[in-house]
Amino acid sequence: MVKRWSTVRLTLAAVLVWAGGMTGCGADVRVEGAALVPLPASVVPAAEGEDFTLEPAVVITAPGEAAGVAEHLALAVQEATGQRPQAGPDGAIRLALTPGAGAEGYELVVGPDGVDLRAETTAGLFYGVQTLRQLLPQARDGGPSRMAGVRITDRPRFAWRGAMLDVARHFRPVADVKRYLDLMAAYKLNVLHLHLTDDQGWRLAIAGRPELTRIGGSTQVGGGPGGFYTADDYRELVKYASDRFIDIVPEIDMPGHTNAALASYAELNCDGRAREPYTGIEVGFSTLCVGSAATDRFVSDVIAEVARLTPGDYVHIGGDEVRELSEADYTRFVERAQELVVRAGKRMVAWQEVGKARLAPGSVVQYWQTREEPDDVVNAVRQGAKVVLSPASRVYLDMKYDSDSRVGQQWAGLVEVEDSYDWDPAALLPGVGEAAVLGVEAPLWTETVTNIDDLEYLAFPRLPAVAEVAWTPQKSRDFEVFASRLAGHAEMWRRWGVDFHESPQIPWGTTDPLTR
Ligand code: ACM
């Protein structure tokens, strides 16, 4: 349902009073500007007058390993005040690594004596910095500014808070992926799944297999020039992501969605004839020649190389939409690919169809379809697998918002912000409760997306909505309150140059800007 907001105006106080998890606060809640997304687990505004005065010459104290995270904070403070803060002892903003908040949790206290951010891990500190960034007043006049006192205690609901970029249908250069990583990090997302190969393109150089990128990487949907990442490009992305506490999960989609590989190496086809490069958008027509020695060598080489380049725990082997194989050949292929992933020291992730196969301990399946009866997923959960939820009708960011959307598809329906936000991952699928859900991921397929502006337009504001689904306790979530908080982020997006969809469901301009 599309809501219009002309008569609805929630004050931020009301937002925070509603938000739950708070104790000791009455109607006089004054965390002005605290339109936090994702909403923390607990927000307790301080008493009247317990404010912090942020001086442009503020000092940040961050001993030991906290110093690396403090760099991110220093940039945020500089963005807010126009002046780079100093690092040193006895600062008014203090970061510390101390036990207590859990693996990704943090505690953030703002008061007259300064700002204290404590966490058990550098990841927790980084998430606290993202929250603090949303609280910083924007004061570029060179003078002091006021930050309302607050105590925030926070930790994520789910371990896997992901986004997926399809760089196969249309390639995106390293700089664009870094930009997406920056935007993800601002909303505490921690997994970037890169869909690196498909019928239309092979986008990662593999040692000893030069034709994959020379031929397979040479085109894209619509017939443009394509492109690919060298191993060094990929390492650069892994490092950039890791500096923002994001793991890259590489996907090599097999045994279907492989026309680019089949065009590169004739031996991968059962008839021994190389396929023509493909620039259309049909799916389901291609498959590796399952059972052949050439395919086995290829899959072994590729998985070993991708695992070698990837420090994270996971390698994604695709496994979706295979229409040209018998179920026996399909499961044989999946089980062999899984064995190679495990042999390379990683855990397999794959689309839900692999639930038909025998899964190894630690394997993860990714739900994507919109069917009510997800047999393959239930089968996977019965085998002990965890599930990443990417229901297309909720979180496929390439779906159009409405019939006027300038790009996107609509095979899973129109997906407005409320659709992306208003669902409970633990209640989506029968037989797949909270304990089976590893997390939530928002894929963005790029059949229609040829540039970073269109990518941002599809991701914003739905990506922050999905980030809150993955982070915030279900009991604290409500779409109208979320929409009111989200409205405060538009000014920040404009500052960052983010192209976003001005959804009629969001009360733009009716709440205070996020930071002032
Ligand atoms: C998919 O959308 N085929 C995973």
Ligand 1: atom nearest CA of 392 is 2
DSSP secondary structure letters along 484-495: HHHHTTHHHHHH
- pLDDT score for 103: 93
The answer, yes or no, to whether residue 156 has pLDDT greater than 80, is yes
The answer, yes or no, to whether residue 513 has pLDDT greater than 60, is no
- Which residue has the CA at smallest separation from atom 3 of ligand 1? 320
Average pLDDT over the chain, rounded to whole? Answer: 92
- pLDDT score for 137: 87
Contacts of 160 (CB under 8 A, 6+ apart): 190, 191, 388, 438, 439, 440, 441, 470
Ligand 1: atom nearest CA of 283 is 3
CB of 457 closer than 6 angstroms to any ligand 1 atom: no
Q: Residue 421 corresponds to which tokens in the numbers above?
A: 């936000």
Q: Residue 63 corresponds to which tokens in the numbers above?
A: 């001993």
- pLDDT score for 139: 75
Please compute the mean of the pLDDT values over residues 453-459 and round it to a whole number. Answer: 98
Q: How far apart are CA 256 and CA 253, in angstroms?
A: 7
369: CA distance to ligand 1 center in Å?
Answer: 8
CB of 396 closer than 6 angstroms to any ligand 1 atom: no
The answer, yes or no, to whether residue 9 has pLDDT greater than 60, is no
Q: Residue 79 corresponds to which tokens in the numbers above?
A: 């963005």
Residues 397-439: pLDDT tens digits?
999 999 999 999 999 999 999 999 999 999 999 989 999 999 9
22: CA distance to ligand 1 center in Å?
Answer: 40
CATH number of 160-473: 3.20.20.80
- Which residue has the CA at smallest separation from atom 2 of ligand 1? 368
196: CA distance to ligand 1 center in Å?
Answer: 13
pTM (two decimals): 0.94
* In contact, 516 and 138? CB cutoff 8 Å: yes
* In contact, 200 and 218? CB cutoff 8 Å: no
CB of 499 closer than 6 angstroms to any ligand 1 atom: no
- pLDDT score for 24: 30
CB of 351 closer than 6 angstroms to any ligand 1 atom: yes
Q: Which residues are catalytic?
A: 321
Residues 301-359: pLDDT tens digits?
999 999 999 999 999 999 999 999 999 999 999 999 999 999 999 999 999 999 999 99
- pLDDT score for 374: 73
CB of 126 closer than 6 angstroms to any ligand 1 atom: no
Going by C-alpha positions, the residue among 306, 192, 196, 167 that lies closest to residue 245 is 192
Residues 477-511: pLDDT tens digits?
999 999 999 999 999 999 999 999 999 999 998 75
Give 512's pLDDT tier (boundaries 50, 70, 90).
Answer: low
Percent of the chain with pLDDT over 90: 88
Q: How far apart are CA 348 and CA 340, in angstroms?
A: 9
Ligand 1: atom nearest CA of 351 is 4
Residue 257, CA distances (Å) to 157, 174, 202, 261 in order: 33, 23, 10, 9
Residues 59-72: pLDDT tens digits?
999 999 999 999 99
DSSP character for 432?
Answer: B
- How many Å is the maximal CA-CA distance in the chain? 78
341: CA distance to ligand 1 center in Å?
Answer: 21
CATH number of 13-154: 3.30.379.10
336: CA distance to ligand 1 center in Å?
Answer: 21
Residues 99-141: pLDDT tens digits?
999 999 999 999 999 999 999 999 999 999 999 999 998 877 7
CB of 106 closer than 6 angstroms to any ligand 1 atom: no
306: CA distance to ligand 1 center in Å?
Answer: 21
- pLDDT score for 372: 54
CB of 321 closer than 6 angstroms to any ligand 1 atom: yes
- pLDDT score for 42: 96
In 10 A of CB 387, how many CB atoms?
26
CB of 253 closer than 6 angstroms to any ligand 1 atom: no
The answer, yes or no, to whether residue 378 has pLDDT greater than 60, is yes
Could you report how far apart the first and last alpha carbons of the chain are, in Å? 32
Q: Which helix (H) or strand (E) holds 81?
A: helix 66-81
Provide the residue ranges of all domains of the chain, joining segments of one domain with +.
Answer: 13-154, 160-473
Domains 13-154 and 160-473 alike in fold: no
Q: Beta 145-147 vs 197-198: how paired, if at all?
A: unpaired
Residues 31-49: pLDDT tens digits?
444 689 999 999 999 998 8
Ligand 1: atom nearest CA of 366 is 4
Tokens 């919109």 — which residue? 370
CB of 368 closer than 6 angstroms to any ligand 1 atom: yes
Ligand 1: atom nearest CA of 445 is 2
146: CA distance to ligand 1 center in Å?
Answer: 48
Going by C-alpha positions, the residue among 398, 397, 417 that lies closest to residue 506 is 417
